[in-house]
Amino acid sequence: MSRGTKRRSYHHGNLRRALIDAALELVSENGPHGFSMREAARRAGVSSGAPYKHFPDRDALMRAISAEGEQRLLAAMDEEMARAGTEPTARFRAMGIAYVKFAVANPSYFRVMTMPEYLDAEQETTIQGQEDAVHAIISSAQASGAMTADDPRVVSLAAHCLVYGLARLFIDGHLARDGIGPQQAEAVATAVTGVFGRGLVPRKPDQ
Amino acid sequence: MSRGTKRRSYHHGNLRRALIDAALELVSENGPHGFSMREAARRAGVSSGAPYKHFPDRDALMRAISAEGEQRLLAAMDEEMARAGTEPTARFRAMGIAYVKFAVANPSYFRVMTMPEYLDAEQETTIQGQEDAVHAIISSAQASGAMTADDPRVVSLAAHCLVYGLARLFIDGHLARDGIGPQQAEAVATAVTGVFGRGLVPRKPDQ
DNA sequence: ACCTGAACACCGTTCAAGT
DNA sequence: ACCTGAACACCGTTCAAGT
């Protein structure tokens, strides 16, 4: 058996996995731009042609990363929602905060996942399913009187924009400039979703 | 003088401009991925080494596009804000809607502008200035009682997230799937900013 | 069944040479 | 001052050949 560290040959092991891991490493070091098929192969200790036994082309490897990230994101959101209990607005907010936390904790996955060129049909149906789940939560919150009766599609869209935009601003370093680091992701997401929930127009009785 | 169409030589003309235009064309045809220095040179009718007299490297050309797009975005927002009058919340909302409209109308500029690797220091100070202007509007709206007294930084951040996220969803085709096209950009931006202004938590007296 | 390594057409970038 | 075109080191992808 392999003693301790990695073997220099994957004839027997899992080259597919090793290539994905190497690609994630390269993305985290130099951005999506800095990944190449040949360098990933080199890091996996394999010749330049070998990856093509596992992925038809460069884009397919990226799509595999994108799909894997998507699964992890969904799992993370499910977990946080379970922790949030059964009240729909609490679940809704927990989902948004979990989204931002995932992005900040997994920037390489997030950057690849959010490149439109790496979304395949299979993943689009996963996303569609997730959107349906969001609509169900919104409807349920509205039915119980805990949420305004705005068009659920608009509410869902606005919420999606909000958390996606926040995640991007974190990942792209636009908040680091203002001294906001990854450790504050949860606090910032909580503040931003709070403002979104209460609205900007003052409430008459509270004035 | 040049009769009608483009000359095949830029010895005399403006190669810098021609390269930027060719690059924008390539981005709009194949995405940022599909742009290459050599192909831009080819389209400008010039040899592979010529671009390097005008741009030190590929990234510099992209940064030039990014900066140019930024200027156009600021101009578009200023125009719409002037049209919106003097009431701060109306100006604030007009700015957000103008942002989304610009992105949808200029996807190539927007895609390049939003790649963090193509932001230079100069552009960051422009962005900083814009952020300060946003804070001024928010303070003014709060002072007149037309906006809640939330932390202006959080309000500004949430608004930024919202419009950036919406622009991205448009550009990346996530709304086309739901049958929402570019012509609906203004209507959708109006709906989304409306929900954001009113909030999701129901208002007691209106219930 | 899986990997090697040469091959081809590309790309970014440099640089001596031309006008 | 600006452009050419060969050169070099890279990259994606293919494919005959090896095990």
Distance CA A63, CA A74 (A): 17
Which pLDDT value is given to residue B205? 62
Per the domain annotation, does A116 fall within a domain?
A: yes
Task: Note whether B79 and B174 are same-domain residues.
Answer: yes
Statement: residue B183 has pLDDT above 70: yes
Please, are residues B158 and B199 in contact by the beta-carbon 8 Å criterion?
A: no
Distance CA A80, CA A73 (A): 11
Task: Note whether B16 and B103 are same-domain residues.
Answer: no
Q: Which amino acid is at A59?
A: D
Contact B199 A148 (CB under 8 A): yes
Per the domain annotation, does A207 fall within a domain?
A: no
Per the domain annotation, does B206 fall within a domain?
A: no
Neighbours of A133 (CB within 10 A): 15
Mean pLDDT of all residues belonging to chain A:
92
Per the domain annotation, does A168 fall within a domain?
A: yes
Task: Note whether B99 and B128 are same-domain residues.
Answer: yes
Q: Which member of B162, B195, B205 has the closest CB to residue A154? A: B195
Per the domain annotation, does B204 fall within a domain?
A: no
Distance CA B195, CA B103 (A): 21
Task: Note whether A130 and A178 are same-domain residues.
Answer: yes
Task: Note whether A43 and A73 are same-domain residues.
Answer: no
Task: Note whether A44 and A67 are same-domain residues.
Answer: no
DSSP letter at B86? S
The structural domain count of chain B equals: 2
Strand intervals (E) in chain A: none
As a whole-number percent, the residues of chain A with pLDDT over 70 amount to 93
Per the domain annotation, does B161 fall within a domain?
A: yes
Task: Note whether A136 and A42 are same-domain residues.
Answer: no
Distance CA A192, CA A93 (A): 10
Task: Note whether B110 and B184 are same-domain residues.
Answer: yes
Task: Note whether A100 and A165 are same-domain residues.
Answer: yes
Q: How confident is the model at residue B10 (pLDDT cuts 50, 70, 90)?
A: low
Task: Note whether A170 and A92 are same-domain residues.
Answer: yes
Mutate to test the interface with B, among A92, A140, A161 (most CBs of B within 10 A): A161
Q: Which residue has the higher pLDDT, A13 or A39?
A: A39
Residues from chain A contacting residue B172 (CB–CB below 8 Å): 114, 116
Task: State mean pLDDT over A5-30.
Answer: 82
Q: What is the Cα B109 distance to its own chain's centre?
A: 7
Contact A203 B203 (CB under 8 A): yes
Which pLDDT value is given to residue A16? 97
Q: Which helix (H) or strand (E) holds A109?
A: helix A107-113
Task: State mean pLDDT over A187-203.
Answer: 96
**pLDDT tens readout for residues B84-137:** 999 999 999 999 999 999 999 999 999 999 998 899 888 989 999 999 999 999
Statement: residue B185 has pLDDT above 50: yes
Which pLDDT value is given to residue A204? 73
Distance CA A80, CA A100 (A): 12
**pLDDT tens readout for residues A51-62:** 999 999 999 999
Of A99-103, A175-179, B57-61, the range with the lowest mean pLDDT is A175-179
Say yes or no: Cβ of B57 under 7 A from any atom of strand C: yes
Per the domain annotation, does A205 fall within a domain?
A: no
Task: Note whether A15 and A89 are same-domain residues.
Answer: no
Task: Note whether B52 and B149 are same-domain residues.
Answer: no
Is pTM beyond 0.85? Reply is yes
Which pLDDT value is given to residue A12? 66
